[in-house]
Amino acid sequence: MARILYVPFDHLNFDFGVLKGADPASDVIAMVESQRMVTGRPWHKERLFFLIASARHFAAEARRRGFEVHYIQASSTIEGLKQIATNLVAESTFHCAEPSSFRQYQQLKDFGVEFVENDFFMTTRKHFFMWAERQKTFVMENFYRAQRVRLGVLVNGSDPEGGRWNYDSENRLPPPKNYVWPPYLLHERDVIDAEVAAELNFEPSKTWATTRAGALAQLDNFITNHLQSFGPYEDAIAEDNWALHHSLLSPYLNNGLLNAREVVEAAVVAYESGAIAIQSVEAFIRQIIGWREYIHGMYWFLGESYREQNQLSANRQLLPLFTDSSKTRMNCVRSVVSDIETRAWAHHIPRLMVLSNLALTTGVNPQEFLDWMRENFVDANEWVMVPNIIGMATHADGGTLMTKPYAAGGAYLNRMTQHCKGCAYDPKKRIGDDACPFTTLYWDFLDRHKDLFAKNHRMSQQIAGLNRLGDLHEVRARAASVINGLEQGII
């Protein structure tokens, strides 16, 4: 009896998931381009292009390898699978690697799909649960150190390579001046890409590769040209470069074209050759075996209802500047949103300290913000967006993931970006027409939630700072007019 191997668009790999050990002589591949996926939301076209073109290239490669591939367009995934089942003469069962969202898991389970373990991550869900169930608080650093030892990455026995687990204190440099950034790859388009672009009526940028070969070239370019300086500037936001030394690998890690193990191995091999500083390789490895695995594990551990949390009762509608960069005069926000309009990507700090900081301090509804992020980022999968937004970005979980909210005023942005010079707003001011909205909103946010935050010892310094302010009335008044201006798209 034939096995039908269903390959979702985030499992595009022949060596992992359901295709591991698959045989063209006995196995058939099923892939579904669901209309719900394409038209169900106002998706960024760069994102749609990346996902669909990658899947069609993958299907073509599977045929080259001798597989019978049923790649169809249907109104939904389940409708597509039903059609494929009808087209196949032999009685068959669908198999799939465990899907990466609660919703898809349930739908496929209800349809009778049989699952194999999802090995697109280096930590199984079972293993993560074993770690999480033993914790009083879910501190990522504790998970990460245990991962280093368990996986044998950058350790000598149970001691950290280089003598320290963490080089964060060296890795917070502001953007450098007069710096020559190494080039990033441009990915040339082929016939399949052109076909998808035409169907979407869209001219994609050349930022994202849509094949395994392109993803590997991206990995190689990162290791050769960027890893050495990844650490020091990982938190900086530059005016003259949109990617800095970030790897740009998240889309491929998330759709399966790259596997985390090979990315980690490439970084470790480069370090062992003597070419890479420990502070950079450690910082990068932390992102992959630490943050990425932690966020994935927490998505499953926290359960489906976690997505709906809103413990700060934030109910403001999404601000217009998120969907149109011309709707703000704040240099940093305009620049980040405009980058997203172009490439559907921004690195971690613009996501956290610009976009999320603004959503948090203005009290934008976390679910609305989550939907907007899901629709607009090339690497946005449900498992990764939910904990990052509900936990890290908007503190909507009341501190389950992060012990304190990531709120910051203009001083932080002035230190870590080059956008304040020439901006209409002054980061040092919290009141007045030219006060930086971030500075005003930061104090106003603390003020609105001071009773709650007073119970959090990690917030005591901030609350003490708030209590010292002599102009709180004016701050509140300025905050009200900033929020009004942001809602009208004129601040």
Ligand X SMILES: Cc1cc2nc3c(=O)[nH]c(=O)nc-3n(C[C@H](O)[C@H](O)[C@H](O)COP(=O)(O)OP(=O)(O)OC[C@H]3O[C@@H](n4cnc5c(N)ncnc54)[C@H](O)[C@@H]3O)c2cc1C
Q: Closest approach of Cβ 280 to ligand X, in Å?
A: 11
Q: Are 237 and 176 in contact (CB under 8 A)?
A: no
The angle, 0 to 180 degrees and rounded to 10, between the axes of the packed helices 260-272 and 212-225 is 30
**Exposure on the CB side of residue 94, measured as CA atoms within 13 A:** 27
- If the CB atoms of residues 392 and 416 are measured against ligand X, the closer one turns out to be 392
Binding site for ligand X (CB under 6 A): 246-250, 253-254, 287-288, 291-292, 295, 347-348, 351-352, 356, 373, 377, 379-380, 384-385, 388-389, 392-393
- If the CB atoms of residues 229 and 254 are measured against ligand X, the closer one turns out to be 254
Q: Closest approach of Cβ 206 to ligand X, in Å?
A: 16
- If the CB atoms of residues 77 and 287 are measured against ligand X, the closer one turns out to be 287
Query: Using CA atoms, how far apart are residues 369 and 376, in angstroms rounded to an integer?
Result: 11
Provide the β-strand partners of residue 93: 3
Token pair listed for 27:
């196995």
- If the CB atoms of residues 67 and 377 are measured against ligand X, the closer one turns out to be 377
Q: Closest approach of Cβ 283 to ligand X, in Å?
A: 9
Pairing of strands 3-6, 27-34: parallel
Q: Are 103 and 61 in contact (CB under 8 A)?
A: no
- If the CB atoms of residues 148 and 347 are measured against ligand X, the closer one turns out to be 347
Q: Closest approach of Cβ 104 to ligand X, in Å?
A: 16
The 10 Å Cβ neighbour count of residue 201 is 7
- If the CB atoms of residues 71 and 144 are measured against ligand X, the closer one turns out to be 144
- If the CB atoms of residues 16 and 94 are measured against ligand X, the closer one turns out to be 16
8-state DSSP, 246:
-
262 φ/ψ angles, rounded to the nearest 5 degrees: -75, -30
Exposure letters 307-321 (e unless 16+ CB within 10 A, then b): bebeebebeeeebeb
- If the CB atoms of residues 29 and 373 are measured against ligand X, the closer one turns out to be 373
- If the CB atoms of residues 395 and 419 are measured against ligand X, the closer one turns out to be 395
The 10 Å Cβ neighbour count of residue 450 is 14
Q: Are 316 and 300 in contact (CB under 8 A)?
A: no
- If the CB atoms of residues 352 and 479 are measured against ligand X, the closer one turns out to be 352
- If the CB atoms of residues 84 and 249 are measured against ligand X, the closer one turns out to be 249
Residue reference for tokens 């509900």: 390
Q: Closest approach of Cβ 434 to ligand X, in Å?
A: 28
- If the CB atoms of residues 254 and 439 are measured against ligand X, the closer one turns out to be 254
**All residues at 6 or more sequence positions from 157 whose CB lies less than 8 Å from its CB, including other chains:** none
